[in-house]
A and B are shown apart, each in its own frame.
Chain A
């Protein structure tokens, strides 16, 4: 099995999707002959032509508006927003249009073919306009699906599933891992399920929930906790909307403890939603309060990025506090 980094896995998924279905198109700022600022779309224009892989003008609302129309027509657009920090000019098109197309028309029209790819997250010395994790804004919008892969294998399988999903998907790519995460990725076509969390490690004392780049951080915290003799169960949510409550609840029934972590600011962050839903379902099983390890309620900093981010030490302390409550 070949080894790929996350960008190569994403590129490979796009290649497979475009090769299989000529209705699949890739476009966005700089995605054409240059292959995207991160090179996720490398060689796709050479291979599939300028009509199917192309640069757009610098206009996020236009990219998503165009993509909505294209998807309504029956094409399968994969639109790139160069950084998730710059998705907000397209916010109206995404939350008012993409998300509501099927519902408002009574299913006469839909934009289910649309996938929006966008790099998110910190750890790249990007300061506040190249590091944000805006998933919670979109997780409040019925009609969208939100998918976040944690490694190259997941990225390929989830992206192929997103492109072929009958609903519009925002695919948040952890850009810190683009080149840092390397792993075995099958060359052939495969899909991973949307809407299903994955238990990446079984344990009995505490449940840890995260997604994307935080999964690697959780794994490091778990190593430390297990040295203390704490048995951790780890869940990668993979899909934030609609999210897999059953898998998380089932785990909490067993462990009685839950620690949730994300990079985004705490207030209104998605960890709050998970905590609320799980206490409704597991209240009598909880041995300690559900803990959140998150970014601060500030814009994302540059120099003090390491201090800001929820790292393995902050998570292991939350695990210890939860177990020793």
Chain B
């Protein structure tokens, strides 16, 4: 506890008397800001980051198109925010846990989640690790240390504090990074998580993607303060605001945040200022609440283009390589999508597994009863019926399911 000076007149302090600066390194033309130094980033790693950002965007564009064609029930893009998520992920150890909200597919792409793995989840087929139980985009990967997404907002934030506390006790030198939007930062879970992390000195990085909108609610209707970052002071926590479209700044800030978290067991809050160029989801239409002009202004701050110019200036990338990459990614997305669409749904028995470690007698009774009913009306339940009769699945070339 620090001693605070006494005052003898009612003097109020107002939250609008300070504002938090924004950390920037890279200008939109690909050159560095005056006085800025690029972080140490080897060519291979820089290109891996860039390829992950481009792959994420190609995946998003194609899958939104697939949703519009009726091939997919739902999709969420992260267009405009690729640098924030991929840059942060690249600054972490590959074994650090990531707890995401739902717009962080870039982290998975960077860590090597394949297009096949994405598609299996998006189509909820029998190879989906989540066994077709959640909406599209609720990815998870144990081997890539990426916690399965949960729809309720912000619930992952106190869980990240708990997960990281376990890592601290285990002494494995790892930390947890939790992503969330500025809207989720209004939930009680956010405040619970930051307070507990600060009190218990937990190695967790709270990464807020401030993208301006929570569905249709603009950030100006989300909070009165100067963004999310100042809240860190109330919890006595390290904080930095970074240009979320600046790959070098995000990478640099997250690398330093990780050092603070792991070396000092201190939580860190990062607020990445960006813009959700796409709709909230495939079910949303932003033209109802914001102008094309506003969107265009942010399109000019495209984080991928910014990094591309930097790489080309360095001689690490070229227009030809760009064209070839785009083409091969598009082809790969389409091929994997076709494969995933053809795969059968998860077997009927998966309805009752994983509720508990073992299927309970009551669940077994309910499943048996359901099977009797489906045998009576197989045509009404084609997905369930297909796994009741082993012959229906004969010729199926599907290999072992799940991971590890």
Contact = CB atoms under 8 A, between A and B. Distances in A.
A299 interface: no
A69 B99 CA distance: 10
Contacts of A67: 162
A95 to B, nearest CB: 10
Given A57-B195, A108-B148, A65 B158 contact: yes
18 contacts: A52-B169, A59-B191, A62-B189, A66-B161, A66-B162, A69-B99, A69-B161, A72-B147, A77-B162, A92-B155, A96-B152, A100-B150, A103-B354, A103-B355, A106-B354, A108-B141, A109-B140, A245-B361
B12 interface: no
Contacts of B161: 62, 65-66, 69
Given A68-B159, A97-B155, A167-B356, A108 B403 contact: yes
Nearest to A56: B196
Contact of A73 (B158, B166, B188, B200): B166
B83 to A, nearest CB: 27
B402 interface: yes
Nearest to B202: A66
Contact of B97 (A59, A73, A104, A167): A73
Contacts of A56: 196, 199
A112 interface: yes
Contacts of A246: 361
B63 interface: no
Contacts of B134: 104
A104 B138 contact: yes
Contact of A92 (B152, B166, B196, B356): B152
Given A66-B161, A92-B152, A167-B356, 10 more contacts: A59-B195, A69-B163, A70-B163, A106-B129, A106-B130, A108-B129, A108-B140, A166-B356, A242-B360, A245-B361
Contacts of A69: 99, 158-166, 176
A74 B155 CA distance: 18
B129 A70 contact: no
B358 to A, nearest CB: 8
B199 A93 contact: no
Contacts of A143: 355-356
Contacts of A102: 354-357
B362 interface: yes
Interface residues of B, number: 52
B116 to A, nearest CB: 16
A145 interface: yes
Contact of B159 (A51, A65, A103, A166): A65
A154 interface: no
A246 B364 CA distance: 13
A19 interface: no
A93 B188 CA distance: 11
B362 to A, nearest CB: 6
A74 B363 CA distance: 27
B147 to A, nearest CB: 6
Interface of B: 97, 99, 128-131, 133-134, 138, 140-142, 147-148, 150, 152, 155, 157-167, 169-170, 176, 188-189, 191-193, 195-196, 199-200, 353-358, 360-363, 402-403
A75 B166 contact: yes
B133 A104 contact: yes
A188 interface: no
A142 interface: yes
A100 B193 CA distance: 20
Contact of B133 (A93, A103, A110): A103
Given A51-B169, A62-B195, A245-B362, A104 B163 contact: no
Nearest to A99: B355
A66 B152 contact: no
Interface string A100-119: 11111111111010000000
A30 to B, nearest CB: 14
A245 B360 CA distance: 11
B148 A68 contact: no
Contacts of B188: 59, 61, 89
A62 B193 contact: yes
A246 B357 CA distance: 20
Contacts of A153: none
Interface string A34-77: 00000000000000000110101101011011111111111101
Nearest to A79: B162
Nearest to A246: B361
Contacts of B360: 195, 242
Given A61-B189, A73-B167, A104 B159 contact: no
Contacts of A142: 355
